[in-house]
Each structure stands twice: as C-alpha cells, then as structure tokens.
Amino acid sequence: MGKDNKVSLTVIRRLPKYHRYLSDLMNKGISRISSQELSVLTGFTASQIRQDLNNFGGFGQQGYGYNVEDLQRELGKILGLDQKYNSVIVGAGNLGQAIANYRGFEDAGFKVLAMFDRNPRVIGLKIRDIEIKDMEHIEDFIKKNNVEIGIITTPKDSAQEVADIYVKAGVKGIWNFAPSDINVPEDMILENVRLNESLFILSYFLKAATK
Amino acid sequence: MGKDNKVSLTVIRRLPKYHRYLSDLMNKGISRISSQELSVLTGFTASQIRQDLNNFGGFGQQGYGYNVEDLQRELGKILGLDQKYNSVIVGAGNLGQAIANYRGFEDAGFKVLAMFDRNPRVIGLKIRDIEIKDMEHIEDFIKKNNVEIGIITTPKDSAQEVADIYVKAGVKGIWNFAPSDINVPEDMILENVRLNESLFILSYFLKAATK
DNA sequence: AATGGCCTGTGAATAAATTGACATATAATT
DNA sequence: AATTATATGTCAATTTATTCACAGGCCATT
C-alpha cells in the first residue's frame, strides 16, 4: 500500500483535514469527489491534494475522481483511526475534564480510562464514568490497563514530572497541553497543543491589522 | 523598525516559542543569550533564529548576542502582547470554562469579560468573576464593551452561527475551538485550534511506530 | 590602545514545498 | 462504437524555507 519514502510532516499535518471533509461528505451521502472539489472545501490546491494523496497510494481514478467512502477509510487507516487507544489524563482541572467529557475523541477510538490528580478534594470524583484517581496508583494502572496515550493537562511546572512518570510507565505517546516543552526519549511520540501560542498568533495579526 | 516586506506565516508561528523561552530566561535572571544557545533551547537552528529575528530588525549585537530583556520586550510588541484585549466566550461547557479559568491568558493581556450560552441551566452562573449570560444580549455586550476577540467553544454545529454573530457585532478576531471550518469575511482575523487534528497526528505516529 | 575571540547580519547555496502542465485512462454522451 | 469531457498521477518548474559561510563589528583582556 503506497510508497515507502518517508512522508513529510507538512503533508501529514494536512491529512486530518482531508479526513474530516471526507467524513462530512459521507454524512451528506456524497459518494464521489474530485481534487478540484476538495480544493474548494479545504482551501488547498487541487494539485497539492493529488500530490499529498499520492504519497500513500493511487486512491483516485482518472475521469472519475475519488470515491469518498474508500478514501475516507484509507485515510482513517493511515491516521491510525481504525484502531482503539487507551489513554489517561493527568490534571483533572477544567481542561482535563473538557477532554474527558468530549465524546468526539471516544467516537474516534480514543478512550479515557481514568484521570489522575494530586488534589485530594477531587480524587474520587467522576467525569461521566471516568474516575479521578490518586497519582499514587498511576504507574500500576497504566501497566495493567494497556494505556498507550498519556495526556498532560497540568500546570506547566508539573509537566516534566508527569512526562517522566508516563515514560517510566511505558506509554507510547504523550499529548501535552501544558505550555512548556518536555523532554522525552527519542522513541516517545510527543504531540504538543500550544494554546498560548495560538492565541499569540491571533494577537499578532490583530495588532498588524490595526497598524 | 525592521523591514517592511511581509513576513511569512512560517516565521510568525515560531515567534511565540522564542518569546516563551526568553521569558523563562528573564525569570532565571539571565540577561544575555546567543543564537547558538537559543538554538539548543528551542530546537531551531541558530541560523534560522538569526534570520527569523532579522525580519523584524537587528536586535542583536556582534560579539555579544542578544539582550534577553530587550528581545523579549520587542517580540512581545511584535506579537501584540504590549496591549490589552477584551474577549468573550460563546459556549460555557468545560472547554469554555477551562479558558475562562486559565490565568495565563489574563496575565498575557487577554481578558474574558463574559461567557454566553444557550442553556438556561448555566445562565447566571459565574466562573471566577465571569458571568455566563444569555445569548440574547451578546451583540449589545460586544458593542458596549469594546470586545475585540470572540472565542468559540461550542459544538461544531453551532460554530458558524456564532461566527456570524461575532462578525455582525464587530469583533476583530475569532479564536475557534470548534472542530469545523467557519466562513468569515476576509478582514476578520481567524485562528483555529484543532484538537482533533492534533490527536490524529499523534495517532498517525503511534501507528507508524508499531508497524 | 591594541589584539584576539566571539557572534551577528546577510548574501549565496541548498533543500523542501507548492504549483503548473500534460499524457493518459475512465466516464459520459451521442 | 466513436467521440468528447473529465480528472488522475506524475514529472518539471517555480517558489519558499532552511542552511551554509563569512565579512565585519563589538566585547573582553591585557
């Protein structure tokens, strides 16, 4: 399936958007789409879309375009959405709770098994059916429950410490919302969400617009 | 100050990281840094850092490097962090509350004046001192309180509707957390936060690692 | 005040990403 | 069945981004 040359991160970061629009099209009952039409939806050029998709194989057909359902499924596979992942959250504040509550992640195959916090006042509480547990038990829990993704929603001063725990406990990937960089071994998959940076970019353009 | 040629988005997206590390250095009492040292911290190459900064003016000095405080302040200005912004949030769920609660944004000059929701059960509640109000009053509120940033933390089906309200009411920029694209006039500043996409990228690399 | 080491700013070289162009295969039409 | 329209996959051209390399200015030391 597809070519073996390593695909650039630039391309990979566009895949979720393709997948999202294809899912939308599926829900609308549309079964066929051309790179030109996808271009209008996504804002990428048609040529770029064809190039991107072709990194993973020839999903289209000349004179026809792409079959929406097939392409959505193939992109899903490429993105690993055809499998389930277990995760836990450290940091049971609003952000952690927001993630625990969001059904969209679970629907996509990402299940939050438990949350962990250091604050005794929240330990024992439940978000939906997700219990907030004491940090004491986290390593055990991760090992026993085959947890692959560790989510960090703590303040920035705790982020590295939590990351170290995740590394020790053997998660495969870390999804970090804390506004600081964390150090992890090379083979750890790390994805940062930088809300601060996003807001600052907005601010940059706001300022630029009023000058 | 600096050159006038439009700076590429690629460069701009790196600025917040420079700013963050410079703030850290300031807090540690370090007053001087070279592009080489910044390179180690940020992971960008020294050459890239010098090129990036030079887009906005020659902040450094040969044989010395950069003055941390000066550079931090200048980057802050470039990013518009030297001014205050008023914002409101539509969508008083966990995510909206997380943002309302997060002091880091307020410290950076972004004040949330109010939240709005459609659910009568949350209207009237307060997050810190931020009241959740009825959507009915939003346009008025935005106009009367000089609100420049509209934040969207609703489910995706409401996002466009909220965006339209923001546009009509005259905010300058929209910070959108809903997992869908919204259409706004060309002169509206729009910054999207794509949690889904970020998670999918993590998933992509997780899958790639286990193959 | 002279010397040596350091480190920026910058132009050139290289690499990466995007766009353009088209041969060719399929679908749709007559 | 033949013809026309369509739209991919791909190679080439262009544009953008990154890295390299170094002249020259500044600091520190003596």
The whole-number Å distance from A50's CA to D13's C1' is: 17
Residue A2 pLDDT > 60, yes or no?
no
Does residue B135 contact residue B122 with C-beta atoms inside 8 Å? no
Give residues 47-106 of chain A lying near strand D (Cβ < 7 A).
47, 50-51, 53-54, 58-66
Rounded to a whole number of angstroms, the distance between the first and last alpha carbons of chain B is 51
Residue B1 pLDDT > 80, yes or no?
no
List pLDDT tens digits, range B102-124.
Answer: 999 999 999 999 999 999 999 99
B85-197 homologous superfamily:
NAD(P)-binding Rossmann-like Domain (3.40.50.720)
Contacts 24+ apart (CB under 8 A), A162-168: A162/A90, A162/A91, A165/A90, A165/A135, A165/A138, A165/A139, A166/A90, A166/A142, A168/A139
Does residue A100 contact residue A129 with C-beta atoms inside 8 Å? no
Identity of residue A35: S
Under an 8 A CB cutoff, do A95 and B93 touch? Answer: no
How far off is chain A from B65, nearest CA to CA, in Å? 23
Specify the DSSP class assigned to residue B29. Answer: T
| Cα B42 to Cα B27: distance, rounded to the nearest angstrom | 17
Under an 8 A CB cutoff, do A20 and B78 touch? Answer: no
Cβ-Cβ contacts under 8 Å, A177 against chain B = none
| Cα B78 to Cα B54: distance, rounded to the nearest angstrom | 13
Under an 8 A CB cutoff, do B199 and A12 touch? Answer: no
Does residue A112 contact residue A88 with C-beta atoms inside 8 Å? yes
**pLDDT for B5:** 66
| Cα A2 to Cα A55: distance, rounded to the nearest angstrom | 6
Nearest to A12 among B15, B79, B201 (CB): B201
Ordered DSSP codes for A145-179: TT--EEEE-S-HHHHHHHHHHHHHHT-SEEEE-SS
| Cα B190 to Cα B151: distance, rounded to the nearest angstrom | 10
Under an 8 A CB cutoff, do B108 and A187 touch? Answer: no
Q: How far is CA A130 from the centre of its chain?
A: 20
Fold for B9-78, please state it.
Arc Repressor Mutant, subunit A (1.10.10)
- Which H or E element spans position B198? helix B195-209
**pLDDT for A1:** 37
Neighbouring CB atoms inside 10 A of B55's CB total: 16
> Computed over its alpha carbons, how large is the radius of gyration of chain A?
20
Asked if strand D comes closer than 7 Å to B50 Cβ, the answer is yes
| Cα B144 to Cα B50: distance, rounded to the nearest angstrom | 44
* C-alpha torsion B10→B55→B87→A13, nearest 10: 0
Q: Helix or strand or coil: residue A42?
A: helix
The whole-number Å distance from A40's CA to D3's C1' is: 30
Strands, E assignment, chain B: 32-33, 60-61, 65-67, 85-90, 110-117, 126-127, 130-134, 149-152, 173-176, 189-192
Average pLDDT over chain A reads 95
Cβ-Cβ contacts under 8 Å, A204 against chain B = 12, 15, 78-80
Q: Where in chain B is the domain with CATH 3.40.50.720?
A: 85-197
Does residue B150 contact residue A199 with C-beta atoms inside 8 Å? no
- The owner of tokens 């990281």 is B17
Does residue B202 contact residue A173 with C-beta atoms inside 8 Å? yes
Cβ-Cβ contacts under 8 Å, B98 against chain A = 93-95, 97-98
Asked if strand D comes closer than 7 Å to A34 Cβ, the answer is yes
Reported confidence tier of residue A3, pLDDT bands at 50, 70, 90: very low
Single pTM value for the model = 0.95
- Mean pLDDT for the stretch of residues A120-143: 96
Under an 8 A CB cutoff, do B80 and A187 touch? Answer: no
- Mean pLDDT for the stretch of residues B81-101: 96
Cβ-Cβ contacts under 8 Å, B189 against chain A = 202, 205-206, 209
List pLDDT tens digits, range A178-207.
Answer: 999 999 999 999 999 999 999 999 999 999
Nearest to B80 among A105, A148, A206 (CB): A206
**pLDDT for B154:** 97
Share of chain A above pLDDT 90, in %: 95
Asked if strand D comes closer than 7 Å to A45 Cβ, the answer is no
Residue B169 pLDDT > 70, yes or no?
yes
Nearest to B98 among A95, A187, A209 (CB): A95
The residues, ordered by sequence, that sit 6+ positions from B138 with a Cβ below 8 Å of its Cβ are B88, B90, B116, B165, B169
Q: Where in chain B is the domain with CATH 1.10.10.10?
A: 9-78
Parallel/antiparallel/unpaired status of strands B65-67 and B60-61: antiparallel
Show the tokens assigned to B100: 């309302």
- Mean pLDDT for the stretch of residues A11-40: 97
- Mean pLDDT for the stretch of residues A10-21: 98
Closest to B193 in 3D by CA, of B172, B174, B177: B177
A2, A59, A68, A69, B142 from A51: Cα distances, Å: 12, 11, 17, 19, 44
- Mean pLDDT for the stretch of residues A14-42: 97
**pLDDT for A5:** 66
Closest to A86 in 3D by CA, of A21, A141, A10: A141
A102, A178, B111 from B125: Cα distances, Å: 21, 27, 18
- Mean pLDDT for the stretch of residues B168-185: 97
Nearest to B16 among A19, A108, A197 (CB): A197
Residue B158 pLDDT > 60, yes or no?
yes
- Mean pLDDT for the stretch of residues B44-68: 95
**pLDDT for A37:** 97
